[in-house]
């Protein structure tokens, strides 16, 4: 046959890696770390095999374990010792994240990012201060503007504890601008903000809510997280965060929203992050436990697809396992 173009010519073992378009490295990955102020020992997270909550006293040890795999960055989430209506332990000087971050930054060389939200700290589990009557009215939830001040205070407290980057995740309108202004006012103008710029109201978050005790006590988060049906809206959301001063733009979740990751990469010249969320992690583990999938292979392929779509950074529960094999 006369076939002048044969793509298989570039698929042999010798040339295949030379023409590979996308590479995944440990430095692309961010590992979540859960620090729990209510325990003095590690607690396994049942729906997320291989992951645990660690007490504050073991936060440094946990981060050192991450660094040994080659992963350079961690995202710290906190489970406080108490909760209230406003989530006041989120910005307390002696809060769980503040104490953990202080130790981690002092005793390790990890790059420390902190999640800035109130859902783990409020007794109602929503991502901010409730509107009056919200518990009884399904059309009401979080008071957007009253929440901004608390998010800014939380981010500043993380910066003062030693965080290298803060990552607001509440999808509160104006959150990036409020946080940027507060950080600048306190002398942290060089500290970057990674915004959860396009965060969807997804069914893939279930295991995380076990991990961080952050499930809503009533209702859902549809009034402030994005509709999974919407693609163009993501561009509007991301553009607003860019205008407010976001340094890194995150899409969450990752795998069901690779089109959005690609759109953000195409439209903005900022670094793009994607969150390979707990449900994505758990479903691959469940299928592997049934013998239906090769966990190592599908984990790597999943992260590779996120990188190929345009993500520069990937926040993933697979970070350590995949990094050790790269």
Residues noted as catalytic = 199, 252
Residues 129 and 142: beta-carbon distance below 8 Å? yes
Pairing of strands 194-199, 313-316: unpaired
Backbone angles phi, psi at 66, to 5 degrees: -60, -45
Residues 28 and 72: beta-carbon distance below 8 Å? no
How far apart are alpha carbons 94 and 69 in whole angstroms? Answer: 30
Nearest to 204 by CA among 318, 47, 51, 54: 47
Cis preceding linkage at 253, omega within 30: yes
């Amino acid at each position: 046959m006369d076939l002048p173009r044969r793509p298989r010519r570039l698929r042999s073992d010798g040339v295949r890696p030379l023409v590979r378009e996308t590479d995944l490295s440990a430095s692309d990955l961010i590992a979540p770390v859960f620090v729990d102020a209510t325990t003095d020992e590690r607690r396994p997270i049942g729906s997320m095999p291989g992951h645990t909550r660690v007490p504050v006293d073991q936060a440094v040890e946990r981060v050192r374990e991450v660094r040994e795999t080659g992963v350079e960055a961690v995202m710290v989430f906190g489970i406080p010792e108490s909760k209230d209506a406003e989530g006041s332990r989120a910005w307390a000087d002696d809060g769980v994240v503040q104490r953990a971050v202080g130790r981690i930054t002092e005793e390790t060389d990890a790059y420390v990012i902190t999640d800035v939200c109130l859902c783990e700290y409020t007794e109602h589990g929503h991502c901010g201060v409730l509107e009056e009557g919200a518990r009884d009215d399904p059309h009401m939830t979080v008071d957007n503007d009253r929440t901004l001040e608390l998010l800014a205070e939380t981010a500043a407290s993380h910066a003062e504890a030693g965080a290298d980057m803060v990552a607001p995740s509440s999808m509160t309108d104006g959150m990036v601008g409020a946080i940027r202004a507060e950080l600048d006012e306190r002398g942290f103008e060089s500290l970057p903000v990674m915004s959860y710029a396009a965060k969807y109201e997804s069914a893939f978050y279930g295991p995380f809510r076990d991990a961080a005790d952050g499930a809503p006590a009533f209702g859902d988060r549809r009034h402030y997280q994005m509709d999974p049906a919407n693609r163009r809206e993501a561009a509007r959301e991301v553009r607003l965060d860019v205008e407010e001063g976001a340094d890194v733009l995150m899409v969450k979740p990752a795998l069901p929203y690779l089109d959005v990751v690609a759109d953000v990469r195409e439209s903005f010249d900022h670094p793009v992050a994607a969150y390979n969320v707990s449900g994505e992690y758990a479903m691959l583990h469940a299928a592997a436990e049934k013998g239906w999938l090769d966990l190592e292979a599908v984990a790597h392929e999943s992260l590779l697809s996120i990188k190929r779509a345009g993500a520069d950074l990937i926040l993933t529960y697979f970070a350590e396992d995949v990094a050790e094999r790269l």
